[in-house]
């Protein structure tokens, strides 16, 4: 079924392939800074971008995404769960108000207190959000710190909370890959021929709002297990690389 959908997708004129990074192009690793795309995925991306609009859409800060993904020239980066774009500047066209800046600082301080003295848990600061990471913590510590974050600062007025695999992200602005994908599609269409169809592949629960914005001519691919809005599923980054290689062949 997926091969048929890919063939129909590839036969269209201008199309956009949007991909999460962690768990899609790169296997999930304990140290996020060590994540890299598989060689097969990197090679397929380099071929695909020659004929197709390609974007990486990630929760990572855009500079962190660029450093880990080392994307080929022409690949657009959308970071910070849709709040950053390499086409629109570091903040994706947004600027924090003084109130939002204050909220972001208070969120960081609150998470610092939650993780203080807990092994394997750390706080990451992004331009628009702060993130609690628990992947390397013991399971009781991961559960406890996650619960404290969700029951505490995640409930404050003005906070936009996302829960993903081993992360809780708290934003001072609205977060969501779906919004980032919609804005990217509109921007590309406004700068040339309209994007006729979009393919989005993601593995995390935070990718579900990306699948939610897809239309009837678009293709959603869930990587791994779990409930999903996506119409198709593959098992691993290895299968994602094979999918991208097939698309590159079809688009050539």
Question: Catalytic: which of 20, 22, 204, 209?
Answer: 20
Closest CA to 86 of 180, 192, 171: 180
20 is catalytic: yes
Residue keyed to tokens 């698309």? 247
User: Active-site positions?
Assistant: 20
């Amino acid at each position: 079924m997926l091969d048929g959908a890919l063939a129909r997708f590839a036969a269209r004129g201008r199309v956009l392939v949007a991909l999460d990074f962690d768990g899609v192009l790169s296997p999930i690793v304990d140290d996020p800074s060590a994540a890299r795309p598989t060689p097969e995925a990197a090679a397929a991306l380099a071929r695909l971008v020659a004929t197709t609009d390609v974007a990486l859409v990630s929760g990572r800060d855009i500079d962190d995404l660029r450093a880990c993904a080392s994307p080929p020239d022409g690949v657009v980066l959308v970071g910070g769960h849709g709040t950053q774009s390499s086409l629109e500047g570091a903040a994706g066209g947004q600027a924090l108000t003084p109130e939002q800046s204050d909220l972001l600082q208070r969120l960081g301080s609150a998470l610092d207190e939650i993780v203080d003295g807990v092994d394997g848990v750390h706080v990451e600061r992004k331009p628009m959000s702060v993130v609690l990471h628990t992947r390397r913590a013991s399971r009781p510590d991961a559960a406890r710190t996650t619960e404290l974050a969700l029951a505490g600062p995640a409930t404050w007025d003005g906070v936009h909370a996302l829960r993903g695999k081993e992360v809780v992200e708290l934003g001072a602005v609205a977060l969501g890959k779906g919004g980032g994908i919609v804005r990217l599609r509109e921007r590309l269409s406004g700068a040339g021929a309209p994007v006729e169809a979009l393919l989005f592949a993601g593995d995390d629960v935070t990718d579900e709002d990306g699948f939610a914005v897809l239309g009837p001519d678009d293709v959603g691919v869930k990587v791994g297990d779990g409930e999903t809005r996506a119409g198709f599923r593959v098992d691993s980054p290895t299968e994602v690389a094979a999918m991208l290689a097939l698309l590159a062949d079809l688009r050539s």
